[in-house]
Amino acid sequence: MTDQQITMFQKYLELGISYGAKLLVAIIFYFVGRWIARFVTDLLKKALSRSKMDDNIVQYMGNLVYAILLIFVILAAIAKLGVQTASFVAIMGAATLAIGMALQGTLGNFSSGVMLMIFKPFRLGDTISAGGVEGIVQDIGIFSTVIVPSDGRKVIVPNGALAGGTIVNFSGMPQRRVELSIGVPGNTNIQQVQDIMHEILASEEAVLKDPAPSVIITATDAGSIVFGVYAPVKTEDYGKVHASLLEKIKLVLTQKGIWS
């Protein structure tokens, strides 16, 4: 072996040892960094679970944080090899911006879904009016919510439309009040009508006694008197009581000759 060959061998050996050491450090850095990322993610998921956050949100947040941390770990490991990572960061930034613009609507629905699951303006089984649809909430997803109206249709509403508008939750409170407006001729005996309404309210078992139901005059003119009939009920009894009171009032007022 000539002196030149020996010199070249020594040069390649030193180069190999140098890069080998950097590669070993990069590999160790990657695996340790990945373990730390997983450890931090697990701590975050446990903390979110203790706050009684929705399991889907906990899982998505955990995956998102882990992915972000892992990207930083990979870039740091590449830097340990002596590779300039500025270009990688620039490319990733441009790609993220392009993807974000392309998925703007989807990401908006995703963020709205996260907010709905965190603040819980409604739950599965609640009857709501939101996004131009009224019905029972059948499913709450990350990107959309399924609402089933009374006619049995399955309506899929983007979460952005829900979070960005007014949500009326008919099941949000344990009690509701049935409110009826009953008109009678202007020459009708007021006390007679009030007695009839109170008897009907008393006969309806689902009407609560506390707070007490009430019957008041809400409007009057020369030709008619309008009574407001207010009956507090449990939320789950609202529809049944509403229909039952209308039926009984119609029947009794007709029998008494107040309605023809």
From first to last of its 260 residues, what are the pLDDT tens digits of the chain? 555 555 555 555 555 555 666 777 778 888 888 898 888 888 887 877 776 666 767 777 777 788 888 888 887 777 777 666 666 666 666 556 555 554 456 677 878 888 888 788 998 899 999 999 999 999 888 788 999 999 999 999 999 999 888 999 999 999 999 999 999 999 999 999 999 999 999 999 999 999 999 999 999 988 899 999 999 999 999 999 999 999 999 999 999 999 97
- Secondary structure (3-state) at 176: strand
**CA pair distance 75, 244, nearest whole angstrom:** 69
Name all contacts of 61-65 with Cβ < 8 Å and 24+ positions apart.
61/114, 65/40, 65/41
Separation between Cα atoms, residue 139 and residue 147, nearest integer Å: 7
Beta strands in the chain (DSSP E): 127-130, 133-140, 144-148, 155-158, 168-169, 175-185, 214-220, 224-234
pTM of the model: 0.65
How far, in Å, CA of 237 to CA of 241, rounded?
6
pLDDT at 65: 80
DSSP helix/strand/coil, 146: strand
Which pLDDT score, from 0 to 100, does residue 169 have? 95
In whole angstroms, what separates CA 203 from the centre of its chain? 40
**pLDDT at position 112, please?**
85
Tokens of 162: 């829900």
Secondary-structure class of domain 175-255 per CATH: alpha beta
Q: Which residues have a Cβ under 8 Å from the Cβ of 231 and sit 6 or more positions away?
A: 177, 178, 180, 201, 204, 207, 208, 213, 241, 245
Token look-up 């020459």 returns 187
DSSP three-state, residue 140: strand
CATH topology of domain 3-102: Helix Hairpins (1.10.287)
The highest-level CATH class for domain 121-169 is: mainly beta
* Per-residue model confidence (pLDDT) at position 247: 96
Are the C-beta atoms of residues 226 and 181 closer than 8 Å to each other?
yes
d(CA 207, CA 63): 49
Q: Break the chain into its structural domains and give their ranges.
A: 3-102, 121-169, 175-255
Beta-carbon contacts of residue 197 (< 8 Å; ≥ 6 apart)? 182, 215, 227, 229, 249
Asked if 38 contacts 95 with a C-beta cutoff of 8 angstroms, the reply is no
- Residue 235 one-letter amino acid: T
Those residues whose C-beta lies under 8 Å from the C-beta of residue 86, and which sit 6 or more positions away, are none
In the prediction, which pLDDT does 83 show?
66
Instruction: Report CA dihedral (78, 80, 84, 87) to the nearest 10 degrees.
Output: 30
Written as one string, the DSSP assignment of 192-221 is HHHHHHHHHHHH-TTB-SSSPPEEEEEEE-
Q: What is the CA radius of gyration of the chain?
A: 34
